[in-house]
Chain A
């Protein structure tokens, strides 16, 4: 059946598996022949045949995904013995997934020596997935990669490997230094990555603007999204050129009427006026007119917490915990790290087994969570205030006093 996936215009992973299986001079040819045997069986029976287990490297508690074949005869002998152990090593790539060909070739060299020659670039959590390693070869394979400068990523109830967009490296819409934020935050929590002891996984993702190319709001426990608080930068000459090229109607239909808060107005002289006070930083107008419009200059990040997919309580988006903070100076990055530390500490101590941050917050209440990690409530954190009276409000005056004190202070950065 797998043969039928070799034809067609899209690159075929089956042809790749066969190239490995047919590389008779390589140590993995036999393993990949057996892997193809097991996969073919899955295609025939519509069943998966891998089970987990415990395989790791010395000094770490995670980062290797053990896979043992369940296809065994009555006496326990594996049906496909050379692929009976087919573990994955999760290796962290650089933020933005940049490579020199030299770096990729060196990874291939090590992987050909110890593994199957099969590499996923990249897994959904952002790792280089080296798929297909025997138990015996996991340690020496990791050792050589580690000497090359690579470290294992996260697996299990741990801080996971992160992802960040291309950002500052090649995108004018990037609002903060994603590589710095990604590197500093992840490297501050390596102990929680390599020695899994959290209630469940904790994922960070870093997107340079609200286009959120890393899908952070839905996929990360902590989403760091670039934004700005001053005015969108407008080049009115480029606006006129855009209108001249695409027409007034296209400008109205695709920009003016698409603004979710109706902030953009097209003047008779074919320039735009933007009501920046009411702009929600959605990015649409900037996406349509990247030469005429740019994010403002006073840039920073919005932080959301609690995104995850279905299991167990249903899908959750991350929700705003910090409407805006600057992320320029060393001190700003230290603040971000301190906030992260308090969130992870609270999560470690208070979440139930197998409970994600979003589920924990759902259980304990968002206001309680804010108080616990030292964040102040802000109307940007809700779509609207509560619609039901089921709340005890006898602390009202104290909270009003706190609000007034905050409003009186100079702290406008949310932290």
Chain B
């Protein structure tokens, strides 16, 4: 036997060239598009300055895909869409065709294979989500499962454009919120401080780093049973879980006390209003696999109120700004609690420093 081979060093090639993978019509008209329309939900029709056209069919996927699913999508692309695809930020797949007559057979093939066509215009978009129990090291819940359960219930709204504006739902399996801002965000909310395994802290955790991670300075060095460890001032702790990633013996996840909160009104686009963060609608929902029915019920309730009451083009956050938060809680039947009042830094800016109040004959007679 010869000695060990010289290790192969990486080719630091970086971002792959996009044009080698791009549909020829897109490639040819790069930067030369003129206008577009949506002939039906799930289909976009773009026209270039030279009159060339392309139809795009968008379909939802499960994001976490087995190679057989990927190959099935490739088979469809080869048979009906010139062998090119692209993916959207929300894990939809898009097929492009240069002939309108190819749209219907492509949709039929996607329908037959179980990929829902939709997710354009004023639809409930595919849920952008995280890894969850499948692969994350700090998850409070699953991600793909929550998404599957919700999208099973909402797939009609994905396949149709009958919301006032688009609805982007996101889910996140911890408070880091990798799922991001959403018109509706379904996020883990811990309700108890971490439980600390004091025997392990000294060997696993870099204690000053952990102390520095805490947003409220609730963690301090301590000695328990003669071993150096960390302790949490539970009166200060906001149960965010920031200490858990750098110090796994500070277990934040709990089968009972790790709950789910639903947030509303996040918006990335600059259209009409500036981008907005989502705001707390309801917390304390149980983490209830495999289908999280309590979460679905709240999401449906919010969607129904939005669909019935919002004006065209209003995103959920814009709708609530117009009608006011008291009306939002009234229309959705959700309770308003002290936990809705922001006491984090800058939170005072969210208080009502005015006499602008939407009163009605039914308004309570407070003291």
Contact of B66 among A117, A253, A309 (CB under 8 A): A117
CB pair B312 A254 closer than 8 Å: yes
Residue B242 at the chain A interface, CB threshold 8 Å: yes
20 new A-B pairs (CB below 8 Å) besides A48-B138, A126-B89? A5-B145, A10-B116, A11-B69, A12-B148, A60-B10, A94-B20, A104-B73, A117-B68, A123-B131, A131-B135, A150-B13, A151-B11, A162-B15, A170-B46, A186-B14, A210-B271, A212-B270, A280-B270, A284-B271, A290-B35
Minimum CB–CB distance from A253 to chain B (whole Å) comes to 7
- Nearest neighbor of B83 in chain A, beta-carbon distance: A101
Contact of B313 among A260, A288, A294 (CB under 8 A): A288
CB pair B268 A215 closer than 8 Å: yes
Provide a sorted-by-A list of 25 A–B residue pairs whose CB atoms are within 8 angstroms.
Answer: A4-B291, A10-B62, A11-B69, A13-B65, A20-B66, A20-B68, A35-B134, A46-B287, A94-B15, A97-B86, A103-B21, A111-B67, A117-B66, A117-B68, A121-B87, A149-B16, A171-B46, A182-B15, A210-B270, A215-B89, A283-B270, A311-B215, A312-B215, A353-B209, A353-B212
Contact of A186 among B15, B26, B145 (CB under 8 A): B15
- Nearest neighbor of B209 in chain A, beta-carbon distance: A353
Contact of A104 among B85, B152, B179, B266 (CB under 8 A): B85
Minimum CB–CB distance from A333 to chain B (whole Å) comes to 14
CA distance A115 to B263 in the complex (A): 37
Inter-chain contact total with CB atoms closer than 8 Å: 360
CA distance A49 to B62 in the complex (A): 22
Give residues of chain B (254-289) contacting chain A, Cβ–Cβ below 8 Å. Answer: 255, 258, 266, 268-273, 275, 277, 287, 289
- B178 / chain A contacts, CB cutoff of 8 Å: 124, 309
Q: How many residues of chain A get a CB closer than 8 Å to chain B's CBs?
A: 127
Residue B23 at the chain A interface, CB threshold 8 Å: yes
Most chain B beta-carbon contacts within 10 A, residue among A46, A103, A219: A46
Give residues of chain A (144-195) contacting chain B, Cβ–Cβ below 8 Å. Answer: 146-147, 149-152, 162-163, 165-166, 168-172, 174, 177, 179, 182-183, 186-187, 190, 194
CA distance A46 to B139 in the complex (A): 9
Give residues of chain A (98-145) contacting chain B, Cβ–Cβ below 8 Å. Answer: 98-105, 108, 111-112, 117-124, 126, 131, 142-143
CB pair B15 A105 closer than 8 Å: no
CA distance A117 to B71 in the complex (A): 11
Most chain B beta-carbon contacts within 10 A, residue among A9, A99, A122, A194: A99
Give residues of chain A (329-373) contacting chain B, Cβ–Cβ below 8 Å. Answer: 352-354
- Nearest neighbor of A184 in chain B, beta-carbon distance: B15
CA distance A150 to B11 in the complex (A): 9
CB pair A98 B275 closer than 8 Å: no
CB pair A151 B67 closer than 8 Å: no
CB pair B63 A100 closer than 8 Å: no
CB pair A48 B289 closer than 8 Å: no
**Which A residues lie at the B interface, using CB under 8 A?**
1-2, 4-5, 7-14, 16-17, 19-20, 23, 35, 39, 42-43, 45-52, 57-60, 65, 67, 86, 88, 92-105, 108, 111-112, 117-124, 126, 131, 142-143, 146-147, 149-152, 162-163, 165-166, 168-172, 174, 177, 179, 182-183, 186-187, 190, 194, 210-219, 225, 253-254, 258-260, 280-284, 287-288, 290-291, 294, 309-315, 317, 352-354
Residue B144 at the chain A interface, CB threshold 8 Å: yes
Most chain A beta-carbon contacts within 10 A, residue among B141, B148, B180: B148
- B248 / chain A contacts, CB cutoff of 8 Å: 51
CA distance A177 to B19 in the complex (A): 13
- Nearest neighbor of A194 in chain B, beta-carbon distance: B12
Task: Please choose the segment from B53-61, B302-310, B328-336 that sits at the chain A interface, where 4 or more of its residues have CB less than 8 A away.
Answer: B53-61
CB pair B313 A98 closer than 8 Å: no
CB pair A5 B8 closer than 8 Å: no
CB pair B18 A95 closer than 8 Å: yes
Give residues of chain B (108-163) contacting chain A, Cβ–Cβ below 8 Å. Answer: 114-116, 128-142, 144-145, 147-149, 151-152, 155
Minimum CB–CB distance from A297 to chain B (whole Å) comes to 12
- Nearest neighbor of B30 in chain A, beta-carbon distance: A168
CB pair B268 A253 closer than 8 Å: no
- List the 9 shortest-distance A-B pairs measured between CB atoms, nearest first: A8-B152, A16-B66, A42-B133, A210-B270, A94-B18, A101-B74, A10-B151, A172-B33, A187-B14
Contact of B60 among A10, A92, A120 (CB under 8 A): A10
Contact of B37 among A23, A287, A291 (CB under 8 A): A291
CB pair A290 B36 closer than 8 Å: yes
Minimum CB–CB distance from A152 to chain B (whole Å) comes to 8
CB pair B89 A213 closer than 8 Å: yes
CB pair B15 A11 closer than 8 Å: no
- A47 / chain B contacts, CB cutoff of 8 Å: 133, 253, 255
Residue B237 at the chain A interface, CB threshold 8 Å: no
- Nearest neighbor of A115 in chain B, beta-carbon distance: B67
Q: How many residues of chain B get a CB closer than 8 Å to chain A's CBs?
A: 117
- A13 / chain B contacts, CB cutoff of 8 Å: 62-65, 144-145, 148
CA distance A5 to B37 in the complex (A): 35
Minimum CB–CB distance from B347 to chain A (whole Å) comes to 9
CB pair B275 A317 closer than 8 Å: yes
- Nearest neighbor of A255 in chain B, beta-carbon distance: B313
CA distance A10 to B342 in the complex (A): 37
- A120 / chain B contacts, CB cutoff of 8 Å: 63-65, 91, 131
Minimum CB–CB distance from B94 to chain A (whole Å) comes to 8
Most chain B beta-carbon contacts within 10 A, residue among A11, A17, A52, A177: A11
Residue B51 at the chain A interface, CB threshold 8 Å: no
Per-residue contact bits, chain B 173-195, to A (CB 8 Å; 1 contact, 0 not): 00111111100000000000000
CA distance A287 to B37 in the complex (A): 10
Minimum CB–CB distance from A254 to chain B (whole Å) comes to 6
- B26 / chain A contacts, CB cutoff of 8 Å: 98, 169-170
- Nearest neighbor of B172 in chain A, beta-carbon distance: A309
Per-residue contact bits, chain B 78-89, to A (CB 8 Å; 1 contact, 0 not): 100001111111
Known interface pairs A98-B22, A108-B67, A215-B89. Does A67 touch B269 (Cβ–Cβ under 8 Å)?
no
Per-residue contact bits, chain B 228-263, to A (CB 8 Å; 1 contact, 0 not): 000000000000101000001000010100100000
- B359 / chain A contacts, CB cutoff of 8 Å: none
CA distance A274 to B178 in the complex (A): 39
Known interface pairs A46-B255, A98-B23, A104-B70. Does A212 touch B275 (Cβ–Cβ under 8 Å)?
yes
CB pair A97 B67 closer than 8 Å: no
CB pair B213 A96 closer than 8 Å: no
CB pair B273 A98 closer than 8 Å: no
CB pair B21 A215 closer than 8 Å: no
Known interface pairs A101-B83, A288-B313. Does A4 touch B155 (Cβ–Cβ under 8 Å)?
no
Minimum CB–CB distance from A159 to chain B (whole Å) comes to 11
- B21 / chain A contacts, CB cutoff of 8 Å: 94, 98-100, 103
